[in-house]
Structure 1
């Protein structure tokens, strides 16, 4: 083989080195660009925090300056819905992107099923650091539980089986419950920040922070209570029923005193979000962190005194399922935007999977990605949203899905249930579809109309854009629309029931 001159050899080597360096630089640039496009994510959820209970939605008493600021600078989802009018089912919808009836989480204290695929597990595929703080309520949080946060992809958790007040009991990574002193919303944020301080600055994180506030029984710090000292006199002639902080049993109390405490909890929760946002900004993380706040269902009966919406917690009218919905992501949402396009908690999983470039599970989902909405490209929703309060009264006659020990909670709370200061869970095998399974109140809603089918089969149709308070039933004037929505609803119920029997596993 002929020998090349030394000068030419050096030139070729230099060219190779330059090309290699250029390729490495390009690879590094691609990697950094990919990381920059992949946001950190923090999901925040209030407990029983209904749509009207924010300053930005016009509440006459509440002070929520942080949520108001997020609404003024980010993406304000004015028609954002919880997937269910109660807490455990909605929380399951966030984790799975699926309606909770698909896996038997019909109502509070029904657990999720271990075979479900959670959003934290999916984001771990994209090397996200994951953690859960606060209310779980999808099964026990103890280490031996097959439905604890760790089983659903969270690297760390400081969590409670249900809700909590001041000085809460929480379990760290499934260990024995410990009592923490302080205001519970602020405690969660303090521990979330401790977790974030351990995450390498160039690696993404996914946090779920589910508050115990403002669920009753209520309490508050003196400085927060003082903001609402005028309320007792305004509601002096009314009382309401809720849990006693002293006995854990039901009690009648003056409504003004109750609202004063409830609003103090919401203000403390709002302030804690401000603490988190400030820390993110100080550590140059806020721009590329997607912060998403919502409630888990509408306002409970002891607190719903100002809402213009029809219904309350447990109802499928908007007062029971429409909740505050805010997305803040300064790197991508540079201008304040308000959307009237319906969206729901089942949309969270497909949205985050698209942002992280992770495939969604190959099983029926009930949500859609809202990335086009975040980017300003979505003009209308491409599929309706369905709600369903399943008639679960016959379920206790079926075989338990998990052993009793696996469903026993450990973390104490004030409110007693059958004398128990913790929460235990149930779920049942539902092996065959029966005609009665299609019962219960159910709803289907698209951009314009909402069809409500009551448990007795009667129907109501509302034009939601013109009549958001659901005051005028237009069923008689729109029979074709009602029939089309009815057909779609029945097909969706069939799909849900097939999932419930375990066909997706």
Structure 2
């Protein structure tokens, strides 16, 4: 708690300098979608659906082609809010995790923290201390119960979905099927994204005259895969199958998401807020297979392969970020904290966002890149995915090294030449592999990463795997 008080004092001292170049604080809207792969929106891929509203952000702002998240949702959300690699806050898996679902594992996972620690001074708290109104609408997934909800982490207002797996996307007042929605006051049966957009706009309407920071976290396109019949029918009429990979129901979920984003963007336009509002759009991890395939990347959600951790990132701020611009600079979710503070003209808090690097100079055109650094991942858990096993990875420049912890197997890829991670260069480039392995080992030691241990009861003659999916 003493650290949080220190950050409060630092932020209060920084208050007078929290201005942009126009001496007016920019509003900030972060849109975080769930389980949408890199190619899930039109401006990043060639899926059989369109996301015209989201594509506006690309045509009016900057598109990042090498943006990264964690392979699962809770670590990404912790990283965004704290400016730290999620390993530092010990949230390395989706909460609560599914260790009991994996049969006969070779390694035993260690427990991890089940809620966002109160000692963390979140990006919402940083903006609140700089006189911003703050709101969280949508999925939280950083701990349930009164001690770890958004109001304890800097958000003045919250309207939440707290867990991972929902029984239904259709909500209404006093709907007993949907107990995960706090303060459920849907006036009639609604699709969840419509309802969340209603709540976000309702709050924005009360705070449009003051600088605001809003995190709008949709549940889509996380399973269960569902959509309104009339929306799904449009894609069936276009020839998509009813169910299956990239099918009509999955396409319709993207349409629901795009409609919600469009409503928020239209609200900003209609209230003359768009010019001075930073809108940032990203996904919390790669797309979940088999609902989709993350072409051109290998793997998906729950894996440290590119398909599981590379995500779409769009940032728009008219007159400050060049329209229809693109950056290949590798950035990661814990960079968002210092970047948003930097764009708003607020003093940074390096004691808190210790892993984050501001890429504001790239957004505003002052620099083409950031200083070269290494990006790290550590996922000491099992998932139901093919490569969803305890693993760690490092990216430095164009090179990426993956270590699979069951057998300490290494894979080395040049992502510029081989983004699909199909040509393992471990034997051809041993010096590069050794350098990256040492960096990865040193980093895991530095952040006190928890390592799984050998299972003394592992039986090689029995089935080892995930009997059912729970993530």
Q: TM-score range by the shorter chain?
A: 0.7 to 0.9
Q: How far apart in 2 are the matches of 1:301 and 1:442?
A: 21
Aligned counterpart for 2:404 among listed residues 454, 476, 498: 454
Which structure 1 segments of 5+ residues have no match? 1-29, 237-253, 394-438, 501-505
Instruction: Say whether 1:369 aligns with 2:358.
Output: yes
Report whether the alignment pairs 1:182 with 2:190.
yes
Match of 1:94 among 77, 80, 92: 80
CA distance in 1, matches of 2:260, 2:18: 34
Alignment CA distance shift 1:38-1:495 (3 Å): farther
- Cα deviation code 1:382-417 (max 9, x no counterpart): 311101102499xxxxxxxxxxxxxxxxxxxxxxxx
Alpha-carbon separation, structure 2, partners of 1:476 and 1:338:
34
Please list, as runs of the form range in 1=range in 2, the aligned pairs for 1:249-398 lying within 5 A after superposition: 254-255=243-244, 259-305=247-293, 307-356=295-344, 357-363=346-352, 365-376=354-365, 377-391=367-381
- Structure 2: where are the runs of 5+ without partners? 1-16, 96-113, 175-179, 384-388, 452-471
2:170 aligned with 1:167? yes
Q: What's 2:122 paired with? A: 118
Q: Which has the higher contact order (CA 8 A, sep 6+)?
A: 2
**Which residue of 1 is the match for residue 390 of structure 2?**
440
Q: Larger Rg: 1 or 2?
A: 1
Which residue number corresponds to residue 462 of structure 2?
none
Partner of 1:226: 233
Provide the TM-score with structure 2 as the length reference.
Answer: 0.79
User: How many residue pairs were aligned?
Assistant: 401
| Alignment match of 1:473 (pick from 424, 429, 451) | 424
Equivalence for 2:446: 495
Deviations 1:70-92 (A, max 9, x none): 2222100111111x111111111
- Partner SS, residue 355 of structure 2: coil
Q: Distance in 1 between matches of 2:222 and 2:215?
A: 18
- Give the alignment's TM-score, normalised by structure 1: 0.74
Kept after mapping to 1: 8 A contact 2:287/2:293: no
Indicate whether 1:147 and 2:148 are aligned.
yes
Check whether the contact 1:38–1:355 (CA below 8 A) recurs between aligned residues. no
Change (3 A) 1:32 1:44: closer
Give the match for residue 42 of structure 2.
55
Q: Displacement of 1:272 after TM fit?
A: 1.2
Alpha-carbon shift at residue 113 of structure 1 (Å): 1.8
Partner of 1:158: 159
State how far apart, in whole Å, the 1-side matches of 2:18 and 2:298 are.
50
**CA RMSD, Structure 1 to Structure 2 (Å):** 2.8
1:103 paired with 2:54, answer no
Q: CA 1:212 to 1:33, structure 2 compared with 1: closer, same or farther past 3 Å?
A: closer
Which secondary structure state, in structure 2, belongs to the residue aligned with residue 477 of structure 1? coil
Q: CA deviation at 1:476?
A: 2.2
Superimposed CA distance per residue, residues 454-488 of structure 1 (whole angstroms, 9 cap, x where no aligned partner): 11211111111111111111222222222222222
Moved more, 440-449 or 285-294: 440-449
